[in-house]
Amino acid sequence: MKKKLIALVLAATMALSLAACGSAPATDTSAPAADTAAADTAAADASAGGSTTDVAFVTDVGNIDDQSFNQYTWAGVQQFCADNGLTANYYKPSEDSDAARVEQMDNAVKDGAKVVVMAGYLFAAALEEAQAKYPDVQFLALDVSTGDLAAPAANTALITYKEEQAGYLAGYAAVTDGYKELGFLGGMAVPAVVRYGYGFVQGAEQAAKDSGASGVNIKYWYSGSFVATDDIKAKMDSWYSEGTEVVFACGGSICNSCLAAAQANNGKMIGVDVDQSNLDPCVVTSAMKALSNSVMLALTDAKDNGWKFSAAYSGKETTLGAAEDCVGLPMDSSDFKNFTQEQYDTLFKSLVDGSLVVDNSFDTAKTPAVSSITVDYQE
């Protein structure tokens, strides 16, 4: 399972070197466009030529080469279509609005899309409208939960993740590797972010018990934003200057504030959602969701069921984790000195077989019970 996750990460990274992120689709039949400008030109050509689409991806805010949700979700769509002789197109909304998202879903359906894929909770309102408008088209939404929209229709599949497992792996690895002064920087305290932090504390606690490490401390703070700001950087500067060694930055572009502070203070950072090792050598590892893998699982289900989601996905939220090879650490690109591949494999296997169960609470009024570490929850 670990090797499969790594392979998909590498495939998405390769796509970055080839692909870019419109009111029209960019066709992908063999290889992605070389850069954003070329992709936009290809998009216009495809629209003018009456392009057909088997599987469509509607991008979130940002470009197709954002090294985050857009890039890795698109990589999964591309791989699935390449494996099955199908055509993949992506559609970029002209602005950050529900109307613009629906417009691109309309365009995808006009081009013949059997499935429309999207990633991010911002799609909830647009998805609600589109699923009713096009009952014969399947809609796949990553990181959208039943709490984000009134109800998924039978032609909609929602995928969420066991972030607590990825956070646990990151916390366990960091302490096992020898870090004692840790930080958790969360964005807004939404369930996914809270679960990451909750798991991170649990992993650090268990690693301290297993290794006999003493004096392990975690500074813990929600910034209340997913946007990089000078205030967040200042907070991280203070953490690093006070001795924090590594910070798990969890919340969109706030990682840029943490990264700037880490670079300025010779600190380390743990990335989130995707492999962020390419950002800077100070990134030790990343708590990942295997977006590409989860896309391929759901699309395979739809295709094998006559282009309709089976009961495993239809009209419901499906939560994926280690057992489905959909969370993990990118060990090939991680910069660990003491935490080994063998230790990771053992830990991951225990998540897969259920012998290790990580509390998945996202209630900010609760905190994980700890006895071997201290956690400083800050306002």
Domain residue extents for the chain: 2-153+291-323, 163-288+328-378
- pTM exceeding 0.75: yes
- Environment class of residue 217 by beta-carbon count within 10 Å: exposed (0-12), middle (13-18) or buried (19+)? middle
Strands 55-58, 115-119: parallel, antiparallel or unpaired by DSSP?
parallel
Q: Which of 2-11, 165-174, 180-189, 237-246 shows the lowest per-residue confidence on average (mean pLDDT)?
A: 2-11
Check whether 115 has a pLDDT greater than 80: yes
- 184 and 250 in contact (C-beta within 8 Å)? yes
Q: Which CATH class, in words, describes the domain spanning 2-153+291-323?
A: alpha beta
Note the CATH number of domain 163-288+328-378.
3.40.50.2300
- What confidence tier does 44 reach under pLDDT thresholds 50, 70, 90? very low
Per-residue pLDDT tens digits for 290-330: 999 999 999 999 999 999 999 999 999 999 999 999 999 99
Per DSSP bridges, beta strands 327-328 and 283-289 are antiparallel
pLDDT of residue 153: 97
Q: What is the pLDDT of residues 45-99, one digit of tens each?
A: 333 334 589 999 999 887 888 778 899 999 999 999 999 999 999 999 999 999 9
Cβ within 8 Å of residue 98, ≥6 positions away:
125, 126, 129
Report the C-alpha gap between 20 and 34 in whole angstroms: 7
What span, in angstroms and rounded, lies between the C-alpha atoms of 208 and 109? 52
- What angle is formed at CA 343 by the lines to CA 339 and CA 345, rounded to 5 degrees? 125
Q: 2-153+291-323 and 163-288+328-378: same fold? A: yes
What's the chain's Rg over C-alpha atoms?
A: 20
Angle at 323 between CA 319 and CA 329, to 5 degrees: 95
